[in-house]
Amino acid sequence: MTGPWWRSSVFYQIYPRSFLDTNGDGIGDLPGIVSKLDYLAELGVNALWVSPFFTSPMADFGYDISDYRGVDPIFGTMEDARRLIAEAHKRQIKIIFDLVLNHTSDEHPWFVEARSSRDNPKHDWFIWKGRTDALTGKRLPKPNNWVCQFEFKSAWWPNEATDEWYLGTFTRHQPEVDWRNPELRQAMYDVMRFWLDEGVDGFRLDVVNWYVKDAQFRSNPFSFKANPDIFQRHIYDRNQRETHEICAEMRRLAESYPGDRLLTGEIFSQDPAIAASYQGNGSDELHLAFNMEPLYLGWQPKRLARAIREWYRLVPAEGWPNLAFSNHDQPRHATRFAPRGFGGLLARAVPDRHKKERLQIAAMMLLASRGTPFIYYGEEIGMENAPIPRKELVDPTGITFWPLPLGRDGERTPMQWNGKPHAGFTGAGAKPWLRLHPDWPSVNVEAAMRDGDSLWHWYRKLIALRKAEPALSRGSLEFVAEGERGVIAWLRRDEKTVACLMNLSGRHRTVRLDSAVPATGAAATVLLGNRRDAGASVPVERVPLAPYEALLVTLPV
Ligand code: GLC
């Protein structure tokens, strides 16, 4: 494979709190990840994104960092982090860490200093507005209408010591830094250098598109969109032009290191054009930018196909796409893709008789797509969102918005390893930090690995095929069906052509592939199918697809 490693890699996202607990405190840790590296190698993934494990008061479970260079004792030690990097590399697994540079924790020493006085050298590393009119002595209104996303209140929080407001658009415990301040910028770049020097292969950068705010602090206009836009068009608190300069500087920083260090940005927006813009011209800003659109979609064949097609159209020619259906912020796709009663209002009103086939199709869509795929932990066994009772909610969003289903605890429940107590996530006597999904006695890694026909083995085979077939890892992608009558089909072409055929409907369908092959009467050969055996022949003029069939075939040249 030519090109940097991350173009041909299959990523796996680990949420460390929930992966494996080795010290019996009910919270996953870094040694837990290390002990599962062989498992991940067996699945075939060759790159990891590890969500934050840095020192944090955990107001947002690690997305509020109080020391960028320290490992939170809950997760382990600096030695464990070093061992994680080294052990991953020993197995040819690359590893990227998650840096949250839009805000710190309110307990970060920078903010503690900054809030102490207006004269403090760190004061201007954060965003402030005065609370009192200097001339009249009157209390000023909040500077604008920006909203705190997780508390659903004004994003401006009072600081008595300086008589100012500071900005916190996630929770009040996550003050936003001022990226326009040159010293702050250098301090953040030093954080990046620190971990790059430790040997990490790159970063997932949290909410990149929020880094810079409007210099005039103008109020956002109204929008009818509730989730996730909270009724505002975010033209002044996000996506400012200067953010692209920062991405370009970060790219140069990453490129000053050997080994194709990767920068992949979370672009918090459902607009794929905005996400694509953070790749710049494809070679001067972020290497990868997450397009969030597919994370919000249900089992909607046309919309899924359109989202994927549009994404490819928008990513710059020199750039590279990526795809994820699940992460730690949105309901898992095993749940989203299940049938829902009454237009989605009543999840699970309809029994999901085809869960396995749907998830096989989703896995094929992900792993036979063009661009770097990201698997979310537990996706390989079909983990679903767990219902969490109100009194057990811990995610600030979930608590604020209850009973609206906007909380994120459900997609963060402990990994289901085996049939032992707590699914083997933690010791029998321990209390997991979040309750498990009740399906763990049957849905767990051990059971899935034992059953040669399980979703786990389907993922393993797809990953292996993606590595073995250059058409799948680097080939072009050309749609043959874009969700009409529930069928999504595309061709991946390199030296060979592989066709990926997916029937998302519960009816029999057919796909024609004859225009893709030179000779009539030719037959394609099955590489992998959930209804057919590998090696079988399929006529290209009319490929019949059974309900919920997923099929990968190679076409004759
Ligand atoms: C990103 C993270 C999310 C976090 C937020 C604030 O959206 O993915 O988990 O709560 O940023 O850091």
**What is the structure's pLDDT at 464?**
98
Which amino acid is present at 371? G
Task: For residues 497-517, give the mean pLDDT.
Answer: 94
Residues in contact with 169: Cβ distance below 8 Å, sequence separation at least 6, in sequence order: 103, 146, 147, 148, 149, 155, 176, 210, 237
Q: Is 432 found in the same domain as 520?
A: no
Which one of 434, 462, 490 terminates a domain? Answer: 462
User: Is 438 a member of any domain?
Assistant: yes
**What is the structure's pLDDT at 348?**
59
**What is the structure's pLDDT at 342?**
57
**Is 344 in a helix, a strand, or coil?**
helix
Q: Are 189 and 250 in contact (CB under 8 A)?
A: yes
Q: Quote the number of domains for the chain.
A: 3
Cα–Cα distance, 21 to 35 (Å, whole number): 10
Cα–Cα distance, 328 to 326 (Å, whole number): 7
DSSP class of residue 114 equals: H
Q: At what angle do helices 241-255 and 182-197 cross, to 10 degrees?
A: 30
Q: Is 413 found in the same domain as 333?
A: yes
Task: For residues 131-145, give the mean pLDDT.
Answer: 96
Q: Is 417 found in the same domain as 327?
A: yes
Centroid of ligand 1 to alpha carbon of 417 (angstroms): 26
User: Is 130 a member of any domain?
Assistant: yes
Q: Is 425 found in the same domain as 404?
A: yes
Q: Is 444 found in the same domain as 327?
A: yes
Closest CA to 406 of 419, 416, 393, 415: 393
Q: Is 315 found in the same domain as 379?
A: yes
Dihedral sign for Cα 183, 188, 189, 195, please. Answer: positive
Q: Is 369 found in the same domain as 276?
A: yes
Cα–Cα distance, 478 to 481 (Å, whole number): 9
DSSP class of residue 141 equals: P
Q: What confidence tier does 288 reach under pLDDT thresholds 50, 70, 90?
A: very high
CA triple 443-339-390, angle to 5 deg: 65
Residue 319 clears pLDDT 90, i.e. is over it: yes
Q: Are 510 and 544 in contact (CB under 8 A)?
A: yes
Which one of 176, 198, 217 terminates a domain? Answer: 176
Q: Is 300 found in the same domain as 384?
A: yes
Which residue range is the domain that position 126 belongs to? 103-176
- Nearest-atom number in ligand 1 for the CA of 102 is 12
Centroid of ligand 1 to alpha carbon of 313 (angstroms): 27
Label each residue of 475-488 as H, E or C.
CEEEEEEECHHHEE
User: Is 469 a member of any domain?
Assistant: no
**Is 69 in a helix, a strand, or coil?**
strand
260 class by beta-carbon count within 10 Å (0-12 exposed, 13-18 middle, 19+ buried): middle
Annotation says 206 is catalytic: yes
State the residue for tokens 């608590």. 399
Find residue 458's DSSP bridge partners.
none
Which of 329, 330, 400, 409 maximizes ligand 1 atoms within 8 Å of its Cβ, making it the mutation to test the pocket? 329
Task: State pLDDT tens for residues 236-257.
Answer: 999 999 999 999 999 999 999 9
- Ligand 1 contacts CB of residue 210 (under 6 A): no
* Domain containing residue 421: CATH number: 3.20.20.80
Q: What confidence tier does 346 reach under pLDDT thresholds 50, 70, 90?
A: low
User: Is 418 a member of any domain?
Assistant: yes
User: Is 28 a member of any domain?
Assistant: yes
Which one has a higher pLDDT value, 56 or 349? 56
**Is 68 in a helix, a strand, or coil?**
strand
- Ligand 1 contacts CB of residue 268 (under 6 A): yes
DSSP labels for 210-240? GSS--TT-PPPPB-S--TTTTTB--SSSS--
Centroid of ligand 1 to alpha carbon of 246 (angstroms): 19
Which one of 407, 427, 462 terminates a domain? Answer: 462
Radius of gyration of the chain (CA): 24
359 backbone dihedrals φ, ψ, rounded to 5°? -70, -30
Residue 547 clears pLDDT 90, i.e. is over it: yes
**What is the structure's pLDDT at 69?**
98
Which of 60, 148, 227, 326 maximizes ligand 1 atoms within 8 Å of its Cβ, making it the mutation to test the pocket? 60
- Ligand 1 contacts CB of residue 266 (under 6 A): yes
Closest CA to 62 of 172, 173, 179: 173
Q: Is 358 found in the same domain as 448?
A: yes
Cα–Cα distance, 503 to 465 (Å, whole number): 20
* Domain containing residue 513: CATH number: 2.60.40.1180
Find residue 555's DSSP bridge partners.
497
Q: Is 404 found in the same domain as 290?
A: yes
How confident is the prediction for the chain on average, in pLDDT? 96
Q: Is 537 found in the same domain as 446?
A: no
Find residue 222's DSSP bridge partners.
232
**What is the structure's pLDDT at 541?**
87
Residues belonging to the chain? 557
Annotation says 439 is catalytic: no
Q: Is 134 found in the same domain as 21?
A: no
Cα–Cα distance, 273 to 313 (Å, whole number): 9
29, 178, 206, 285: the catalytic one is: 206
Q: What ranges make up the beta strands (E) of 37-99?
A: 47-50, 54-55, 67-71, 94-99
